[in-house]
Amino acid sequence: MISLEKLELFVTKLTLKHPFRTSFGEERERKVLLVKLWGSGKEGWGECVAASGPWYSYETVDTALHVIRDFIAPMLRDAELESPRDFPGLVAPIRGHPMAKAAVEAALWDLYCRLKGVPLWQEIGGVREEVTSGVSIGIQSSIPELLDRVRSFVTQGYPRVKLKIKPGWDLEVLKAVREEFPEIKLQVDANCAYSPEDPALLEFDRFGLLLLEQPFHYDDLLEHARLARRIETPVCLDESIVSPHRAREALELRACSVINIKQGRVGGLSAAIRIHDLAREREVPVWCGGMLETGIGRALNVALATLPNFTLPNDISATDRYFQQDIAHPPFRLTSRGTISVPKGPGLGIEVDEEKLRREATVHLGVNFRR
Ligand code: OSB
Ligand code: MG
């Protein structure tokens, strides 16, 4: 049994190296909620992927803080968990709030694996020691600026580029990128920005894309299923896949032929693994999405992406692509093969700069579990 002693919550701000613009807005810094769990003399860390506003999902850092402190922590105090696999059942009475749940589950996995002395990727059945990287490039002010960004990442060795698109920042942009980079692995992400009637959608097939991610509203599986029957480019879902239940529906409806898995969006690592397995049974490939995580969240993504059905390049870039300063060590680096190596140590395999975190945290609170 995991004997939990204490839960701590931290909120801190990290400045992005470059503003990140999507169809729903621009981020210049990230407010990050971190969870630390103490048990049997060891510690485990989890990162909440909720943003400061309810744009990508309804959750925010503040709703997650509230749900963890006021509902999840009291449940944990009275719980008897054999493994992190028991955690989703424990918090199932809380409706929704997947990112809040996922952050605590992540800390439990890290703690559990550190107590066992095994790396997380091995514990969950990972099959590779490096994962294929990719980079997600936000909407820029002009096409020349975008081309500069793409050129810089291609030169650094990124094997796949994802472009954020929206109506009006799509066909012309793709034409320009394809002219300069006819061969690169390229995919696009609309973050729900299109209406099903938009004629541009039928033009994407000209650009040899790996996939088109989430063109329509997050609740709309039907229109994605219709589009998937009309175009050659594989349709991939991100925002729509909020749980294993929804993944099954999407697969049965053939609303997508690829799934972007983000453990935070689906309610935790256990649910992410379940979706991976469901997709694998149907021979639908998956890849790991990103939420501009710090090294803590990135380490979890890297472990997840070692599972066998993560066969497409992931939104897992090197540490130096994100923030001016990270809070975890060592940094993740891009290898000469365009991959990110999986840390060898127990649990997540990274260390948190806790001194810096304590110094800079805007919120820091603790809950004791000792009975
Ligand atoms: O839609 O995949 C997305 C970041 C924040 C919110 C949504 C998305 C993203 C990314 C970032 O694309 C990918 C990364 O972390 O490298
Ligand atoms: Mg996306």
Instruction: Please state, in angstroms and rounded to a whole number, the distance separating the CA atoms of residues 111 and 128.
Output: 22
User: Omega before 330 cis (within 30°)?
Assistant: yes
Buried b (16+ CB within 10 A) or exposed e, 89-109: ebbeeeeebbbbbbbbbbbbb
Give the residue among 38, 1, 11, 49 at the shortest CA–CA distance from 262.
Answer: 49
- 3 state DSSP class of 130: strand
CA distances from 188 to 172, 313, 320 (A): 13, 13, 22
Residue 27: C-alpha distances to residues 52, 69, 138, 238, 323 (Å):
10, 26, 10, 19, 12
Sign for the CA dihedral angle at 247, 249, 253, 255 comes to negative
CB 11 within 8 A of CB 61: yes
- Termini Cα distance of the chain: 15
Of 244, 316, 247, 239, nearest to 56 by C-alpha is: 239
- CB 68, CB 264: distance < 8 Å: no
Enumerate residues 6+ apart whose C-beta is below 8 A from 66: none
Nearest ligand atom owner, CA of 264:
1
Q: Are the beta carbons of 369 and 4 closer than 8 angstroms?
A: yes
pTM listed for this prediction: 0.97
Residues with catalytic annotation? 164, 262
Mutate to test the pocket of ligand 1, among 20, 21, 22 (most ligand atoms within 8 A of CB): 22
Number of alpha carbons in the 13 Å side-chain half-sphere of residue 236: 25
Residue 138 CA to residue 323 CA, distance in Å, equals 15
> Atom 12, ligand 1: which residue's CA is nearest?
136
Question: What single string gives the DSSP state of each residue in 193-234?
Answer: ---TT-GGGGGGGGG--S-EE--S-TT-HHHHHHHHHH-SSP
Question: Shortest CA distance to 153 belongs to which of 167, 175, 136?
Answer: 136
Those residues with Cβ within 8 angstroms of residue 2's Cβ, 6 or more apart along the chain or in another chain: 39, 40, 81, 82, 83, 108, 111, 112, 115
Instruction: Among 99, 315, 319, name the best residue to mutate to test ligand 1's pocket (greatest count of ligand atoms within 8 A of Cβ).
Output: 315
Residues with CB under 6 A from ligand 1: 56, 136, 189, 191, 238, 289-292, 315, 317
pLDDT in tens, the chain (371 residues): 899 999 999 999 999 999 999 988 899 999 999 999 999 999 999 999 999 999 999 999 999 999 999 999 999 998 989 999 999 999 999 999 999 999 999 999 999 999 999 999 999 999 999 999 999 999 999 999 999 999 999 999 999 999 999 999 999 999 999 999 999 999 999 999 999 999 999 999 999 999 999 999 999 999 999 999 999 999 999 999 999 999 999 999 999 999 999 999 999 999 999 999 999 999 999 999 999 999 999 999 999 999 999 999 999 999 999 999 999 999 999 999 999 999 999 999 999 999 999 999 999 999 999 76
